[in-house]
């Protein structure tokens, strides 16, 4: 059996090696390392794929979130509602800009922000909501956009884990996640569903004025070179990564389908088990399985992980500490905030290997070992 990895970027690369190698060599040959042709080309193709009006590429997903918030002209102390059950980057950008993070609960089935919880947190200082499409499943955007409209709030989508995911509106129409809110952000970190061979990120918007602002913020506040109208930052997708991503974008739907196949295998193996809850897919979303995350009841999770490690099966806890309990927020007194669902999920979740290169032999081995441990 091939060794099992949490993510197998190497095997995936080997299948498209010739195309990738030649695209990298083309960039080297062009010597246009910054903002070369591939950056524009990838940005246009990604824009069409996501179905957004504008796409601005940048250096990574964390920058994308920061740039999004900088472009919204928020004032120190303005409140931004985010889930606590997420990767730290979502909230770190809020705190970095001296905005106040306010934490919403998530839904216990989908792990995504609960609109009812959001409603209760709105105050006159609330200016924005960051919806995270966690693990590859969409947050309930229709409800979130409705709340935002009623209270005149901006919505930023953190689409770092869900590129290619589709949101299905109640009238049956569909949109890709990242193209629904005022701004969408994504990451091309190598393990993401559309992963570069280094860092990368992108920002989406359908708003023409915001697009100009985002572009300026990402580029030292300038539109005309050496004329800086606002304080921005320097955040660029490099040309080599853009060339790689442009090739991988063509495979993204197939990559997501491979993840869905692996997830379906897991779902069959764990179906109806009293101690295992498999991922739930809401009727408004597809699932692109950035992670395949189980919820365990009455299972010693540490012991299960030890047992899997002994059998050379990696597993991960995303995330062991919810954001509101992280030390970086000690000074905000947020640990006193009660988030029972978030805390419970934190204690129950385990993510199994999921990527485009898993074969049946590996999946069989993983599921048998998990079931062996839990049933004995």
Q: Report the alpha-carbon distance of residue 361 to residue 1 in Å, rounded.
A: 7
State which residue, 185 or 276, has the beta carbon closest to ligand PLP.
185
Per-residue tokens: 118: 């959001």
Min dist. Cβ of residue 189 to ligand PLP (A): 4
Site for ligand PLP contains 114 (CB under 6 A)? no
**CB atoms closer than 10 angstroms to residue 2:** 11
Per-residue mark of binding to ligand PLP, 313-352 (x: CB under 6 A):
----------------------------------------
| Interaction of residue 12 with ligand PLP, rule CB under 6 A | no
Which of these segments, 24-32, 86-94, 143-151, 165-173, binds ligand PLP (CB under 6 A)?
86-94
Q: Shortest approach of ligand PLP to residue 318 CB, angstroms? A: 9
**What is the closest distance, in whole angstroms, from the C-beta atom of residue 356 to ligand PLP in the complex?**
18
Report helix, strand and coil shares of the chain as percent, to nearest 5.
45, 15, 40
Q: Binding of ligand PLP at residue 92 (CB under 6 A)?
A: no
**Which one of residues 47, 57, 60, 219 is an interface residue with ligand PLP (CB under 6 A)?**
60
Is residue 90 close enough to count as binding ligand PLP by CB under 6 A? yes
State yes or no: residue 242 binds ligand PLP (CB under 6 A): no
Minimum distance of ligand PLP from residue 2's CB (angstroms): 26
Residue 89 touching ligand PLP (CB under 6 A): yes
User: Residue 323 has what DSSP assignment?
Assistant: G
Radius of gyration of the chain (CA): 21
Candidates 60-68, 122-130, 220-228, 265-273 — which segment interacts with ligand PLP by CB under 6 A? Answer: 60-68
82 binds ligand PLP (CB under 6 A): no
Nearer to ligand PLP, 143 or 185 (CB): 185
177 binds ligand PLP (CB under 6 A): no
Q: What DSSP string runs through 70-98?
A: HHTT--TT-EEEEESSS-THHHHHHHHTT
- Rounded Cα distance between 57 and 39, Å, is 8
Beta pairing class for 276-277 and 292-296: antiparallel
| 100 within 8 A of 78, measured Cβ to Cβ | yes
Q: What is the DSSP letter of 280?
A: P
Nearer to ligand PLP, 87 or 204 (CB): 87
61 binds ligand PLP (CB under 6 A): yes
138 lies in the binding site for ligand PLP (CB under 6 A)? no
CB proximity list for 259: less than 8 A, separation 6 or greater: 136, 193, 288, 289, 290, 292, 354, 355, 356
Q: Which residue is nearest to ligand PLP (CB)?
A: 61
For strands 154-158 and 126-132, give the pairing.
parallel
* CB-based burial, 32-71: b 16+ in 10 Å, e otherwise: eeeebebbeebbebbbebbebebbbbbbbbbbbbbbbbbb
Q: Is 158 in the site for ligand PLP (CB under 6 A)?
A: yes
- How big is the site for ligand PLP, counted in residues (CB under 6 A)? 15
CB 179 within 8 A of CB 151: no
DSSP 8-state code for residue 100: E
Is 263 or 276 the residue whose CB approaches ligand PLP more closely?
263
Stretch that binds ligand PLP, among 6-14, 28-36, 56-64, 228-236 (CB under 6 A): 56-64
Determine whether 83 is exposed, middle or buried from the number of CB atoms within 10 Å of its CB (0-12, 13-18, 19+).
Answer: buried
Interacting residues with ligand PLP (CB under 6 A): 60-62, 86-87, 89-90, 132, 158, 160-161, 187, 189, 199, 201
């Amino acid at each position: 059996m091939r060794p099992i990895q949490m993510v197998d970027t190497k095997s995936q690369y080997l299948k498209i090696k010739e195309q990738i190698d030649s695209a990298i060599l083309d960039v080297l040959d062009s010597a246009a390392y910054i903002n070369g042709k591939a950056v524009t080309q990838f940005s246009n193709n990604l824009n069409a794929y996501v179905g957004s009006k504008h796409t601005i590429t940048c250096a990574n997903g964390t920058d994308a979130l920061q740039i999004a918030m900088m472009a919204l002209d928020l004032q120190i102390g303005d409140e931004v509602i985010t889930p606590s059950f997420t990767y730290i980057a979502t909230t770190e950008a809020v705190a970095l800009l001296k905005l106040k993070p306010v934490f919403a609960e998530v839904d216990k089935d989908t792990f995504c922000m609960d609109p009812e919880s959001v409603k209760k947190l709105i105050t006159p200082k609330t200016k924005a909501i960051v919806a995270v499409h966690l693990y590859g499943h969409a947050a309930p955007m229709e409800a979130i956009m409705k709340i935002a409209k009623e209270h005149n709030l901006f919505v930023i989508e953190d689409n770092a884990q869900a590129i290619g995911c589709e949101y299905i509106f109640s009238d049956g129409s569909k949109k890709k996640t990242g193209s629904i809110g005022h701004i969408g952000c994504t990451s091309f970190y190598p393990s993401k569903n559309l992963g570069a061979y280094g860092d990368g990120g992108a920002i989406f918007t359908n708003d023409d004025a915001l697009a100009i602002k985002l572009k300026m913020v990402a580029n030292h506040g300038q539109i005309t070179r050496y004329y800086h109208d606002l304080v921005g930052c320097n955040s660029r997708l490099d040309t080599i990564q853009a060339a790689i991503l442009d090739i991988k974008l063509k495979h993204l739907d197939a990559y997501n389908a491979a993840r869905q196949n692996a997830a379906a295998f897991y779902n069959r193996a764990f179906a109806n088990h009293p101690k295992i809850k498999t991922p739930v897919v809401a009727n408004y979303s597809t699932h692109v399985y950035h992670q395949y995350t189980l919820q365990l009841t009455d299972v010693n999770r540490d012991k299960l992980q030890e047992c899997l490690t002994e059998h050379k099966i990696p597993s991960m806890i995303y995330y062991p500490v919810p954001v509101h309990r992280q030390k970086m927020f000690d000074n905000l007194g947020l640990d006193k905030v009660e988030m029972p669902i978030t805390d419970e999920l934190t204690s129950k979740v385990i993510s199994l290997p999921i990527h485009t290169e898993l074969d049946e032999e590996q999946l069989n081995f993983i599921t048998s070992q998990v079931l062996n441990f839990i049933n004995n």
